[in-house]
Amino acid sequence: MSGRTRASVVVSMGLASLLAVIGAVPAQATELGVAGGLPTELSAAAAGAAAEPPQRLPEISAVSPLVQRDGFSVAEAPKPVPVPVTPQFASTGVSAVSGAYRWPFPTAVRISDTFGPRIAPCDGCSSLHKGLDMNGGEGAPIGAVADGVVRQVTDYDDGGMGVHAIIDHTVDGRLVSSVYAHMSSGSLSVSAGQTVVAGQQVGNVGSTGQSTGPHLHLEILLDGVTPTDPFAWLTERAGPQ
């Protein structure tokens, strides 16, 4: 075979191989272009997305009210009005300004024995109780039940009523005397002939004389000599203790 004939055969075989390859490639592949390693259509879509402005959430004004209030307002509560308080005790230990009549103690106290017949609680004690036994507590100050003048005092333990005082009062034009017995030694605060006012301290609760324990033995003597029930007499004039 001559050189020309051999060259023609080689060219013919090359063309045949090229036509075979082109026939094997899908038709869609010939219509797609490649740009930057991506198909032309995908590249165009990416380029379009990049061209659109970025999406943003709507801005909220800093002065826009986010919460609606209920319309209620807050006001300062009014300050309480101070209430004047009358002191229960004056410098002497018992209020000296408490009306025409008052109980011997500023607050209610337990009554351990009432006026009238009783079983004598100790040797030498009376079976006819002429007064009212009030348990104000040992050392508690004792106040006069009304304005008056001190008639008599005993500032030592006499073995009967112990340390005691008698004060004369004028009640509705009548003499009435009050007796304060069994007071503690050294506590007597008044002297014979002294003028006192209701509530003024007479002495302190003790247990001198014929006594079974610290208490005030209080007597009310009509006309200065006749015992009467102190509880009823004081309740009528000073009110309940």
The whole-number pLDDT of residue 180 equals 98
Arch. (CATH architecture) of 110-238: Distorted Sandwich (2.70)
State both tokens at 207.
Answer: 């247990």
Q: What is the mean pLDDT of residues 201-226?
A: 96
Q: What is the mean pLDDT of residues 133-152?
A: 97
Asked if pLDDT for residue 153 goes beyond 90, the answer is: yes
As a whole number of Å, the end-to-end CA separation of the chain is 157
Please name the residue ranges forming H helices in 97-228: none
Instruction: Give the pLDDT band (50/70/90) at residue 19.
Output: low
Of all residues in the chain, what percent carry a pLDDT higher than 90? 49
Asked if pLDDT for residue 156 goes beyond 80, the answer is: yes
The whole-number pLDDT of residue 89 equals 35
The per-residue pLDDT for range 75-104, each reduced to its tens digit, is 555 554 443 333 333 333 444 334 699 999
Instruction: Give the pLDDT band (50/70/90) at residue 13.
Output: low
The whole-number pLDDT of residue 71 equals 55
Dihedral angle over CA of 134, 131, 97, 238, nearest 10? 100
How far are the Cα atoms of 53, 89, 153, 184, 193 from residue 189, in angstroms, in the given order? 103, 15, 10, 11, 13
State both tokens at 115.
Answer: 């006026």
Sorted by where each begins, the domain ranges of the chain are 110-238
Cα(173)–Cα(75) distance, integer angstroms: 61
Instruction: Give the pLDDT band (50/70/90) at residue 115.
Output: confident
State both tokens at 174.
Answer: 């009548």
How far are the Cα atoms of 28, 65, 77 from residue 74, in angstroms, in the given order? 78, 20, 9
| CB count in 10 Å sphere of residue 153 | 21
State both tokens at 240.
Answer: 């309940």
Enter the pTM of the model. 0.59
